[in-house]
Copies of this chain bind each other. A is one copy, B any other.
Amino acid sequence: MLEENKFSTLKDILKEMNTVDIAQAISESEPDKQVKIFRLLPKNSSAEVFSYLDSDTQETVINSITNVEIHNLVEDMFIDDAVDFLEEVPANVVTRVLAQTSRETREIINKFLRYPEDSAGSIMTVEMAAFHESLTVDEAINELRRTAQDKESIETCYCIDSQRKLVGLLPLRKLIVAKSGTVLSDIMLSDDRIISVVTHDDQETVAEIVRKYDLLSVPVVDYENRLVGIITIDDIVDVIQEENTEDFEKMALLLPSEDDYLKTGVLKLTRNRIVWLLILMISATFTGQIIEGFEDKLAVISGLTACIPMLMDTSGNSGNQVSTLIIRGLALGTVKPSDYFKVLWKEIRVAVICGIILAAANFVRMLTIRAVTGGETSTPVIFVVCLSMVFTVIIAKSIGCSLPILAKLLHLDPALMAGPMITTIVDAVSLLIYFGTATLFINHGLLPLK
């Protein structure tokens, strides 16, 4: 439609569209059209659409509009969206944008940009409904009717005293059903029922609190308990997804990265991966040395070598199953370090049953293969493999549940610690058990040599 210059039709369509969909459409169109579409937006929705654009498109738009347009845009945006946008674009764009904003807005933005990354302060917004506790219900409602349009969430209002200290919460439903003359301090929720976070709290802590108490927004206070902002749950949802992605990445031996996969360059992707690959390759020296020390015996006993990968994979998988459950449980708070002995006892029992079933299945499997392929694997070798299987599964499951809890106790990140460590330790231990069992059989003359 742009090409056909049907501007007014397009304008009408845009009026009926959801802002998120408009933002997506703009991001997907060609750079020279992006600004044209953006300028057709109704005045009251352009700031919202802008905050949903990806940062490349935001830059393109900013670089093509006038200073007056920039001024209006930034003043119309919620502070948290403006801060998000400024954190992503190059410094020269930031300078130009800040030059066009009012002194007041600029001061707030600068303050926000100074909060540590991933802190409550960096993700909060200042557009909340806050009233002095001495107001009456009518005064509060009138004030709200006057200002509600600019608030990010009004489902809960906040009551403050003369020093701006947070003294109470007031769900909107409670406010609008209250009798006209009532003073807010008589109906607000106070004391222990106020759930709040401090500006320097980590966003992960904030997410836990919001999730635990089922909040739609949480007030942010400074160290003197003065109300400085709120964090709304839609931003918390993004935090939760970020934290989950980080755990996935750590457990898959990647350095965590906040960039989208498709937008990350080859060199950065390589850097995020090579670190753990190198560390684990070098630590594989242990398993290599264990095998080398046993190489002479492997060479004269048929079938022993062929089972190494199967044993190592099975024990690695067993260990990873438990560690994932425990890491996830620790992250969600359903497992606590104090549960350790309960967990260990449970895992040992699970491991014994799993180990026996796997060993039995393996016994049948190896007999079948020998019968079908006419291989030379002797029955005692099969016994060695099955016996080792039971023990390696038990050890793998014990290590798998112990390492994440140990990491948590040492204030290390379970996801980071446990994933990489478990493979290496379990690999080495299962080889030692395997060769130990084989040696025991050899010493008793039970394993026939070639």
Give me the interface of A with B, judged by CB distance under 8 Å: 16-18, 20-21, 141, 144-146, 148-149, 151, 153-155, 172-174, 176-177, 190-193, 195, 210-216, 232-234, 236-238, 240-241, 244-245, 247-249, 251-254, 260-262, 266-267, 269-270, 273-274, 276-278, 280-282, 284-285, 287-289, 291-292, 295, 298-300, 302-303, 305-310, 312-314, 317-318, 320-321, 323-326, 328-329, 332, 334-335, 339, 342-343, 346, 349-350, 353-354, 357-358, 361-362, 365, 369, 373, 375, 423, 427, 431
Contact = CB atoms under 8 A, between A and B. Distances in A.
Q: List the 9 closest pairs (A to B, CB-CB), nearest first.
A: A252-B324, A284-B310, A148-B173, A299-B299, A214-B234, A291-B306, A288-B306, A292-B306, A287-B309
Contacts of A329: 260-262
B176 A145 contact: yes
Contacts of A245: 328, 332
Contact of A289 (B269, B306, B339): B306
Contacts of A216: 153, 155, 216, 232-234
A321 B365 contact: no
A167 B210 CA distance: 32
A295 B377 CA distance: 12
A158 to B, nearest CB: 15
Given A249-B325, A261-B326, 6 more contacts: A141-B176, A254-B321, A274-B353, A285-B310, A289-B369, A308-B308
Most chain B CB inside 10 Å of its own CB: which residue of A145, A174, A277, A343: A277
B350 A276 contact: no
Given A216-B234, A339-B262, A320 B253 contact: yes
Number of chain copies forming the complex: 2
B193 A18 contact: yes
A325 B247 CA distance: 11
A270 B353 contact: yes
Contacts of A233: 216, 233-234, 237
Contact of A317 (B277, B298, B334): B277
B266 A350 contact: yes
13 contacts: A16-B191, A155-B155, A216-B233, A247-B248, A254-B324, A274-B354, A277-B321, A281-B313, A288-B309, A288-B369, A289-B373, A291-B308, A309-B312
A255 to B, nearest CB: 10
A270 B358 CA distance: 11
B176 A248 contact: no
Contacts of A427: 309, 313
A51 to B, nearest CB: 10
A317 to B, nearest CB: 6
Contacts of A274: 353-354, 357-358
A344 B188 CA distance: 58
